[in-house]
Amino acid sequence: MKILKYTFLVFVVCIIIVPLLFINTKHNVVSEIDNRELTEFPSLENYGKIGSLSDTMEDYFSDRIGFRDDFLYANMLANDWLFHHLEHPLYMYGKDDYVFSKYRGNVKFGNFHITFINHIKKIENYCRDRGIDFIFVLNPTKYTIVKDKLPEGMNYDDSWLIDFTDYLDELDINYVNNIPLLLEKHKNGEVVYNKMYDATHWNELGAFYGVNNIIRGIKEIYPSVEENKKENFTFETEMETTLPSSKFPICDEVPKINPKTKKLVSKGDFSGEIDMDENFRSFYYYSNAYKQNPEIPKVLIFQGSYMNTRGSKFLMNAVREYTSIHCYQNVINADYYINIFKPDLVIFEVGQNVILDSYFSGEKMEQKNFNKKFEKEKLQKLEDYDDIRLNHREMVTEIFIDNLPHDADDVYLEIGADVYDAILTDGVYKVVVDNNSLNANDKFTVYYRRNSN
């Protein structure tokens, strides 16, 4: 009996002590189980900013204790096998083993959405004033399309989208709404969102249909653009065995669709030389060798995860040039990128689930103002202006305009036949130009509008 007691005591001590001996002290660790950065040990410089010391230490040891991910993984599997419950911070089960992202509550149309749509209109007006076409694209989450597979008794309400699209209509914004199309495809039995793998976004079949719907919107402006045809693509399947950002085991056969022929030529990697939000730096810049008809547009698209993950290849296949910027936060400064890449068409694509202040700062959208239309006869001209500094980089040149008159507002820089909007950055007006657009003998002329205040 004593041996059993001692054995049990040693076992309990080991359970307590061994995990502490293997505590994870590495910096900037992201858990593979719940896909988040683990709590750092509190330091003097951040103490007071991150809560009380006791709370922080509790979070630290809870996150860093040895074998944490193994314990969580075992708990996750046990809950699934015993209770058919998906114990995970990112995912939940719906009906018939469908997997959805964790329910965060219903959204109500409010002031933030009005600010967001007003900013879309500001971008559209800015483009129109410069002879650039514009399309806004709204993509639906899996919740909205696969409602019939949501958990029993779940009260999901997406009626805010009606108010959202009504306000788009009220402001006469040119937009493509992929919700009706994908709802129809789902009701007809087509799997446009995977059963388990990727609990939020469309799958490649959904992306194929959704991007073709975007192309139809482009075709109304540029009739030479062609929709993607199924016979020009390979349709295959691939077995996914774990949920994204998780080790949770699944068995889900998902579609894989690729063009049979493509000839995309990289136009260079500008991502290291242009300003982008430090957290959202996805960037593509390609020319399509098969689509060099000048009646097919050069597209600059501000895109989110729907296009980043699966949609890009389908739209690249249809346009002459494809430049993409991760839309989160970056689209607030759309004029900066439009100046650099000089597109024929600007697209702003977003998923309904990320229309949030954490992805698009409401305060910054409200504060953002774009230059008005360039009308030379209404502006002050500074010819042969000396206070211009150039910073030549590999892909772009930064041009700084210093010491402008105190009443200068809406500043423009004319370089040869092109006009660029100078953007006030850290107290200095700045223009960023693709080096391919510059010539050694270009003449620089500054224009500005007098501030009426």
Residues contacting residue 374 through CB under 8 Å, at least 6 positions apart: 129, 130, 412, 419, 421, 447
Q: Do 117 and 214 belong to one domain? A: yes
| pLDDT of the residue at 431 | 97
| 31 pLDDT more than 60 | no
Q: Tell me if residue 222 falls in helix, strand or coil.
A: coil
Sign of CA dihedral 177, 183, 189, 191: positive
- Indicate if 193 and 69 belong to the same structural domain: no
Question: Which residues are within 8 A (CB) of 360 and not within 5 positions of it... i.e. 6 or more apart?
Answer: 116, 119, 328, 329, 331, 332
Domain match, 312 and 402 both = no
pLDDT value at position 177?
Answer: 98
Claim to verify: residue 360 and residue 382 sit in the same structural domain: no
**Residue at which a domain ends, from 337, 367, 397:** 367
Q: pLDDT confidence of 14, banded at 50, 70, 90? A: low
Measure CA 344 to chain center: 21
Domain hosting 79: range is 19-89
- Taking the C-alpha atoms of residue 239 and residue 253, their distance in angstroms, rounded to an integer, is 4
Shared domain for 58 and 118, answered yes or no, is no
Q: Are residues 117 and 72 in the same domain?
A: no
pTM over 0.95: no
- pLDDT tens string 295-307: 999 999 999 999 9
Number of domains, the chain: 3
In order of 339, 350, 399, 419, 426, the CA distances from 402 in angstroms are: 19, 37, 10, 18, 12
Q: Look at residue 61 and tell me if it is in a domain.
A: yes
The helix (H) or strand (E) run that includes residue 187 is helix 179-187
Q: Looking at the structure, do residues 81 and 228 belong to the same domain, yes or no? A: no
Q: Judge whether 6 lies within some domain.
A: no
Q: Does an H or E element contain 335, and which?
A: helix 334-341
Of the residues 335, 367, 399, which one is the last residue of a structural domain? 367
Q: Do residue 159 and residue 122 come from a single domain? A: yes
275 DSSP assignment: -
Q: Which of 322, 230, 336, 332 is nearest to 283 (CA)?
A: 322
Examine residue 9 and state whether it is found in any structural domain, yes or no: no
Domain CATH code at residue 416 = 2.60.40
Domain boundary at 367, 394, 414, which?
Answer: 367
Residue 402 and residue 388 in contact, taking contact as beta carbons nearer than 8 Å: yes
Residues 27, 47, single domain; the answer is yes
Q: Give the span between the Cα atoms of 78 and 76, in whole angstroms.
A: 6
- Decide if 7 is inside a domain: no
Highest mean pLDDT pick, 17-26, 217-226, 397-406: 217-226
Q: Is 352 within a domain? A: yes
Q: Give yes or no for a contact between 335 and 371, defined as CB atoms under 8 angstroms apart.
A: yes
| Residue among 306, 303, 299 at smallest CA distance from 322 | 299
Q: Is residue 309 part of a domain?
A: yes
Same domain, 80 and 115: no
Q: Quick one: pLDDT at residue 83?
A: 72
Detail the DSSP E strand segments found in 293-393. Answer: 298-303, 321-326, 345-351, 380-383, 388-392
Residues 423 and 115: their CA atoms lie apart, in Å, by 22
One-letter identity of residue 249: P
Give the pLDDT confidence of 196-206 residue by residue, as tens digits.
999 999 999 99
User: Is residue 440's pLDDT more than 90?
Assistant: no
Could you give the 3-state DSSP secondary structure of residue 201?
Answer: coil
**262, 268, 271, 276 alpha-carbon torsion, rounded to 10°:** -80
Q: Which residues pair with 266 in a beta bridge?
A: 286
pLDDT band at 383 (very low <50, low <70, confident <90, very high): confident
Please indicate whether residue 298 or residue 20 has the higher confidence score (pLDDT): 298
pLDDT interval class at 351 (50, 70, 90): very high
Query: Is the confidence at residue 33, as pLDDT, over 70?
Result: no
Among 46-60, 62-76, 117-131, name the most confident range: 117-131
Taking the C-alpha atoms of residue 338 and residue 316, their distance in angstroms, rounded to an integer, is: 18
Nearest residue to 399 via CA among 384, 410, 383, 415: 415
**CA 224/CA 220 separation, integer angstroms:** 9
174 and 31 within one domain: no
